[in-house]
A and B are shown apart, each in its own frame.
Chain A
Amino acid sequence: MSLKLNYSMSLGNSYGLTKTQKVASAVGMLGLFILTLALFNVEFPNKTIALTLALSMLFAGVIWFSNSMYLSKSKGIKNDGVYFKSLSSKGLTGWLIGVALTLFYIVLYFYPEYLGLAQKGEENTGLVALFDPLSQLLSGRNASQWFVYGTLYTVAILVFGYKFILKYRHNRYEQIRTISVMFFQLAFAFLIPEFMYVMNSDLPYYDLKNVWPLNYYNFEQYRIKAFINAGNIGLAMLIFGIVSIFVITPILTYKYGKRWYCSWVCGCGALAETAGDSFRQLSDKSKFAWNVERWVIHSVLVFVVLMTTAVIHSYLGNDTSKYWLTKSSFLTGVGVLLTLVFAGTMIFKRKELAKDAKYGAIGYFIVIAVLFAMYFFSKDNTLFVFKSESLRKSYGFLIGSIFSGVIGTGFYPIFGSRVWCRFGCPMAAILGFQQRLFSKFRITTNGGQCISCGNCSTYCEMGIDVRAYAQKGENIVRSSCVGCGICSAVCPRGVLKLENDSMKGRINPNEILLGNDVDLMSLVNENR
Chain B
Amino acid sequence: MEHIAIIGNGISGVTLARHIRKLSDKKITIISAESDYFFSRTALMYVYMGHMTFEHTQPYENWFWKKNSIELKKGYVHKIDTDNKTLHFNEGDTLVYDKLVIASGSKPNKFGWPGQDLNGVQGLYSKQDLENLEIYAPNNKVCKGAVIVGGGLIGIELAEMLNSRNIPVTFLVRESSFWNGVLPEGESQMINRHIKNHHIDLRLSTNLKEIISDHNGKVKSIIIEETGEELPCDFVGLTAGVTPNISFLKDSKIKINRGVLVNRFLETNIKDVYAIGDCAEQHEAIGNRRSIEAVWYTGRMMGETLAQTICDNRMEYKPGHWFNSAKFLDIEYQTYGWVHGKKGKPDYEAHFHWKHDDDTKCITIAYHRDTNQFLGINTFGIRMRHEVFDRWLTEKRDIDYVVEHLEDANFDPEFYKRFENEIKETYNNTLQTN
Stretch at the interface among B53-61, B91-99, B217-225, B253-261: B53-61
Q: Indicate if the CB atoms of B414 and A498 lie closer than 8 Å.
A: yes
| Complex-state Cα separation, A470 to B416, whole angstroms | 22
Residue among B315, B383, B414 making CB contact with A173, cutoff 8 Å: B414
**A387 sits at the interface (CB 8 A):** no
List of B residues within 8 angstroms of A468 by Cβ:
59
List of B residues within 8 angstroms of A84 by Cβ:
50
Residue among B49, B140, B325, B385 making CB contact with A81, cutoff 8 Å: B49
Chain B residue at smallest Cβ distance from A11: B141
User: Closest CB of chain A to B354's CB: distance in Å?
Assistant: 18
Q: Indicate if the CB atoms of B138 and A12 lie closer than 8 Å.
A: yes
**B113 sits at the interface (CB 8 A):** no
Q: Indicate if the CB atoms of A520 and B318 lie closer than 8 Å.
A: yes
**B51 sits at the interface (CB 8 A):** yes
The B137-196 residues at the A interface (CB cut-off 8 A) are 138-142, 164-167
Q: Indicate if the CB atoms of A515 and B42 lie closer than 8 Å.
A: no
Q: Indicate if the CB atoms of A517 and B50 lie closer than 8 Å.
A: no
**A15 sits at the interface (CB 8 A):** yes
Q: Indicate if the CB atoms of B296 and A451 lie closer than 8 Å.
A: yes
Q: Indicate if the CB atoms of B40 and A12 lie closer than 8 Å.
A: no
Stretch at the interface among B208-216, B243-251, B299-307, B369-377: B299-307
Residue among A7, A11, A75, A454 making CB contact with B56, cutoff 8 Å: A454
Residue among B11, B19, B165, B385 making CB contact with A14, cutoff 8 Å: B165
User: Interface size bucket, B side?
Assistant: 35 or more
Stretch at the interface among A327-335, A355-363, A371-379, A486-494: A486-494
> With A173-B414, A520-B308 in contact, do A454 and B59 touch (Cβ < 8 Å)?
yes
User: Closest CB of chain A to B367's CB: distance in Å?
Assistant: 21
Chain B residue at smallest Cβ distance from A10: B139
User: Closest CB of chain A to B217's CB: distance in Å?
Assistant: 19
**B118 sits at the interface (CB 8 A):** no
| Complex-state Cα separation, A176 to B415, whole angstroms | 8
Q: Indicate if the CB atoms of A83 and B51 lie closer than 8 Å.
A: yes
Q: Indicate if the CB atoms of B332 and A493 lie closer than 8 Å.
A: yes
**A171 sits at the interface (CB 8 A):** yes
Q: Indicate if the CB atoms of A14 and B166 lie closer than 8 Å.
A: yes
User: Interface size bucket, A side?
Assistant: 35 or more
List of B residues within 8 angstroms of A494 by Cβ:
325, 332, 334, 383-384, 411
Q: Indicate if the CB atoms of B56 and A515 lie closer than 8 Å.
A: no
User: Closest CB of chain A to B28's CB: distance in Å?
Assistant: 17
Stretch at the interface among B101-109, B127-135, B232-240, B342-350: B127-135
Q: Indicate if the CB atoms of A467 and B59 lie closer than 8 Å.
A: yes
List of B residues within 8 angstroms of A514 by Cβ:
320, 386-387, 390
The B4-40 residues at the A interface (CB cut-off 8 A) are 11, 19, 22, 40
**A513 sits at the interface (CB 8 A):** yes
Q: Indicate if the CB atoms of B415 and A172 lie closer than 8 Å.
A: yes
**B290 sits at the interface (CB 8 A):** no
Residue among B52, B308, B413 making CB contact with A489, cutoff 8 Å: B413
| Complex-state Cα separation, A385 to B265, whole angstroms | 71
Chain A residue at smallest Cβ distance from B197: A74
Q: Indicate if the CB atoms of B390 and A454 lie closer than 8 Å.
A: no
Q: A3-B53, A10-B139, A455-B51 are in contact. List 12 more A-B contacts (CB 8 A).
A: A74-B329, A75-B330, A79-B49, A171-B413, A452-B43, A454-B52, A458-B56, A493-B332, A497-B411, A518-B394, A520-B315, A521-B320
- A sample of 11 cross-chain residue pairs with beta-carbon separation below 8 angstroms, ordered by A number, consists of A12-B138, A12-B142, A85-B50, A454-B52, A455-B52, A490-B51, A493-B332, A494-B383, A514-B390, A516-B320, A517-B319
Closest 5 CB pairs of A and B: A447-B386, A76-B330, A494-B383, A453-B43, A517-B318
**Chain A residues close to B by CB (< 8 Å):** 1-3, 5, 7, 10-15, 74-77, 79-85, 170-173, 176, 281, 286-287, 444, 446-449, 451-455, 457-458, 467-468, 471, 485, 488-490, 492-494, 497-499, 511-521, 524
**Chain B residues close to A by CB (< 8 Å):** 11, 19, 22, 40, 42-43, 46-47, 49-54, 56-59, 61, 130-131, 134-135, 138-142, 164-167, 197-198, 296-297, 300-301, 304-305, 308, 315-321, 323, 325-327, 329-330, 332, 334, 383-387, 390, 394, 411-417
